[in-house]
Amino acid sequence: MGRADFTYDFPHDRLITVDDLNPLDIQILFERAEHWHGVNQSPDKKHDTLKGLTQINLFFEPSTRTLASFELAGKRLGADVVNFSTSNSSTKKGETLADTARTLAAMHPDLIVVRHNASGAATFIHNETGIATVNAGDGMHSHPTQGLLDLFTLTRHFGDVGGKRVLIVGDILHSRVARSDVGMLNLLGAEIRLCAPPTLLPTDVDRWGAEIFHDLDDALDGCDAVITLRLQKERMSGALIPSVREYFHFWGLTTRRMEFANADCVVLHPGPMNRNVEIESTLADNAERSLILEQVEAGVAVRMAVLEQLGLRARKNARPGS
């Protein structure tokens, strides 16, 4: 049954994790993302969908691409967008997160986009303010728009990711991206594989509905897509991984290794890349294999779709005159 056959309003007043979404929600978001994806390629990018609404991007972690992506998305939808980032936030002056949230709420924004290094921060902000909140990454927990954009990219590439064999390789333990991607892949019926050294796998990983590998060559066998995760610099110092060269030798994605995967297997990376750490430089630049720039493009469209749904609902639910 298609969506046209009955009325369904996007029911959420926040986006904390992809686990909150059902297949119909995702269908709505992907349809709207596809719309905005086309609009973004035209010279007439600015629209007034969210005109009159205020969007605050509250970033407690350094970010370039995600912040820019959310800022562009809000502006192209006609919202007024304000960025607060760590360098100029009051937390540096000792303010608690609760006070920051209440202070911002008093300025009556309609949408808050939040990134924070503590798992649960986005839920906390939403509970404190009641304002529509988009989680732009909270600790090691969740990064739902990344999960949406990765699957939107794969869906555009394959038509349907159902039954496709998708491998996620890298630092799964510390990755909110991996958790969000796995949630989406499960929902859309992909066959999921995870590959990492045991020190970079969470202890509950056997309940993720994925097949676990330590050997990358084995993991790549028959894959249709590989998502490589960023290995953060502080993980390379010997507590969990002996060295960069050992990591690259066993878990770095290379053109030679890709021969174990299907001939048309594609490569994704959430960025920013460490060249020759998690991915061979020449492979990242291989236009036939790499969907990395497509992911960036999809990111703006997907975030527009999310902000649009939450913004329209916020406007509809606002008390007149308040």
Partner 1 sequence: MTPITIRNARVVDPATGRDELASLRIVNGLIDDIGEGIAQDDDHIIDANGAILAPALIDLRAAIEPSFTPGGETLDSLARAAASGGVGTVVISPTSSMPIDAPETVMALRAGLRPMPVRTLISAGATRNLGGETLSEIGLMATSGAAFISQGDCPIANTTTLRSLFSYASGFELWVACPARDAGLSHATVATESEAAARFGLTLEPTVSERMAIDRDATIAELTGARLMIDRVSTRDGIEALSRARKRGIEICSTVSIANLAFNSVDADGLDPAFRLTPPLRSEEDRRALVTAIENGLIDAVVSDHRPLDLDLKAQPFADAAPGSTGLEVLLAAMLRLVHEAELDLVSALRPLTSGPAELLGLPQGRLEAGAPADVVLIDGDAPWVYDVSDSASTRRNSAWEGRRFQGRVLMTMVDGGIVYNLKG
Binding positions for partner 1, rule: CB under 8 A: 197-199, 214, 237-243, 245-246, 249-250
Residue 206 vs 264, nearer CB to partner 1: 206
Q: How far is the CB of 197 from partner 1 (least distance, A)?
A: 5
Q: How many CB atoms lie within 10 A of CB 186?
A: 15
Chain centroid to CA 236: 23
Q: How far apart are CA 194 and CA 175, in angstroms?
A: 12
Shortest Cβ 269–partner 1 spacing (Å): 23
For residue 77 the two structure tokens come to 């939808």
Helix 292-317 / helix 144-158 crossing angle, nearest 10 deg: 120
In degrees and rounded to multiples of 5, residue 72 shows phi and psi of -60, -40
Q: Which of 49, 102, 128, 45 is nearest to 310 (CA)?
A: 49
Nearer to partner 1, 233 or 249 (CB): 249
The residue among 3 and 233 lying less far from partner 1, judged by its C-beta, is 233
Q: How far is the CB of 236 from partner 1 (least distance, A)?
A: 11
Q: Judged by CB, which is closer to partner 1: 97, or 240? A: 240
Q: Which of 231, 149, 162, 164 is nearest to 195 (CA)?
A: 231
Nearer to partner 1, 189 or 242 (CB): 242
Least separation in angstroms between CB 219 and partner 1? 12
What is the smallest separation between the CB atom of 239 and partner 1, expressed in angstroms? 6
CA distance 270 to 265: 17
